[in-house]
């Protein structure tokens, strides 16, 4: 039975823009009641004004646990239950493996601790409802196949993946529990996070609406990994990249061999042979 149904309640962090905003729009269309959270007060309030009057908008920072507790309290006071929790807020980009410790702290505080805070604040209350519910944490391919370029972001997203796998395991083993855990892994999506690359959606990127449609279908099908392709990376190419990445360990290749001068061409050949 779908959790995305009329009258059910969704809480979304990072709801003022991009994938969170598209999720709120889709959930509102399905007749769900919404409690939305973002640190961008102007964008959040302007967006909430376009949604049904019962919508609650809470301004705060996922990196601050007391703000996430306030979000939970607002949702339960308004609606008495939460059926979909999307821990989705994140910031990008820009870090190096060493240096800029403050940048590392900021990214981990929001992108990893923000998700931990959501899980900590909501899970007990959601379990106590005794009704079907879902927790969807937004990860990234950067935390799985680990492309170089922004190690702090990749570390945070790897943490989100590991946390969400553990969470899904613990939820399914919880006696009487009816909550499923899911890892949303968007592909290249045209949002506030990536719009720096231009005002028009690049042909290769998905829209946030496409990601949300894919996510709803996958969660309804009971899938844990909601691994999204985009218009340049097919599901098959993603699978080959995943296999190659695990192969680095098994074959004792150098770290991040896909981008290593001695290995890059070998990966490209490996992928091309299997894609043709
Ligand atoms: N866009 C992509 O290509 C892509 C790819 C993989 C993963 N993701 C992930 O998708 C999720 C949504 O990102 P998006 O692309 O829609 O970006 P976005 O920038 O459009 O939206 C993110 C929202 O989160 C809010 N936010 C940021 N820090 C916050 C904080 N500390 N507290 C509360 N709100 C905060 C922002 O104000 C913004 O409204 C993120 O977890 C991101 O890492 C995006």
Spatial distance between the Cα atoms of 51 and 42, rounded to a whole number of angstroms: 15
pLDDT of residue 192: 85
Ligand 1 center to 183 CA (angstroms): 15
pLDDT of residue 1: 77
Question: Where in the chain are the domains?
Answer: 9-231, 234-276
Mutate to test the pocket of ligand 1, among 12, 13, 19, 231 (most ligand atoms within 8 A of CB): 19
Ligand 1 center to 91 CA (angstroms): 6
Mutate to test the pocket of ligand 1, among 65, 186, 225 (most ligand atoms within 8 A of CB): 186
Active site residue 76: no
Spatial distance between the Cα atoms of 159 and 168, rounded to a whole number of angstroms: 14
pLDDT of residue 194: 81
Atom of ligand 1 lying closest to residue 14 CA: 24
**Domain spanning 9-231 has what CATH number?**
3.40.50.720
**Cα separation values, 187 from 93, 121, 138, 140, Å:** 16, 28, 11, 8
Question: pTM for the complete prediction?
Answer: 0.98
| Torsion sign, CA atoms 91, 93, 97, 103 | negative
pLDDT tens for the chain, residues 1 to 276: 799 999 999 999 999 999 999 999 999 999 999 999 999 999 999 999 999 999 999 999 999 999 999 999 999 999 999 999 999 999 987 899 999 999 999 999 999 999 999 999 999 999 999 999 999 999 999 999 999 999 999 999 999 999 999 999 999 999 999 999 999 999 999 998 887 656 899 999 999 999 999 999 999 999 999 999 999 999 999 999 999 999 999 999 999 999 999 999 999 999 999 998
Q: Within 10 A of 151 (CB to CB), how many other CB atoms are there?
A: 17
Cβ-contact 135, 87 below 8 angstroms = yes
Ligand 1 center to 249 CA (angstroms): 31
Ligand 1, CB cutoff 6 Å, lining residues: 13-14, 16-20, 38-40, 61-63, 88-91, 110, 114, 138, 140, 186, 188-189, 191-194, 208
Nearest alpha carbon, ligand 1 atom 23: 14
pLDDT of residue 220: 98
Mutate to test the pocket of ligand 1, among 16, 18, 60 (most ligand atoms within 8 A of CB): 18
Cβ-contact 86, 119 below 8 angstroms = no
Ligand 1 center to 266 CA (angstroms): 34
pLDDT of residue 102: 94
């Amino acid at each position: 039975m779908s959790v995305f149904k009329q009258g059910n309640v969704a809480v979304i962090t990072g709801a003022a823009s991009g994938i969170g905003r598209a999720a709120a729009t889709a959930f509102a269309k399905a007749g769900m009641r919404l409690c939305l959270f973002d640190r961008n007060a102007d964008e959040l309030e302007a967006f909430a004004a376009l949604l049904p009057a019962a919508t609650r908008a809470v301004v705060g920072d996922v990196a601050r646990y007391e703000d996430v507790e306030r979000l939970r309290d607002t949702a339960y006071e308004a609606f008495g239950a939460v059926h979909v929790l999307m821990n989705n807020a994140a910031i990008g980009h820009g870090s190096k493996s060493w240096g800029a410790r403050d940048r590392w702290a900021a990214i981990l505080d929001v992108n990893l601790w923000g998700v931990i805070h959501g899980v900590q604040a909501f899970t007990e209350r959601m379990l106590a409802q005794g009704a079907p519910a879902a927790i969807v944490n937004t990860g990234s391919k950067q935390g799985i196949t680990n492309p170089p370029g922004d190690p702090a972001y990749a570390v945070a997203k790897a943490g989100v993946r590991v946390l969400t796998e553990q969470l899904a395991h613990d939820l399914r083993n919880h006696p009487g529990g009816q909550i499923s855990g899911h890892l949303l892994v968007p592909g290249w999506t045209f949002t506030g996070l990536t719009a720096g690359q231009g005002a028009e959606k690049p042909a290769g990127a998905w829209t946030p609406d496409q990601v949300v449609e894919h996510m709803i279908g996958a969660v309804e099908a009971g899938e844990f990994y909601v691994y999204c392709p985009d218009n340049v990376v097919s599901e098959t190419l993603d699978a080959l990249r995943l296999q190659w990445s695990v192969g680095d360990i098994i074959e004792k290749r150098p770290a991040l061999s896909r981008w290593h001068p001695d290995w890059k061409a070998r990966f490209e050949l490996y992928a091309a042979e299997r894609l043709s």
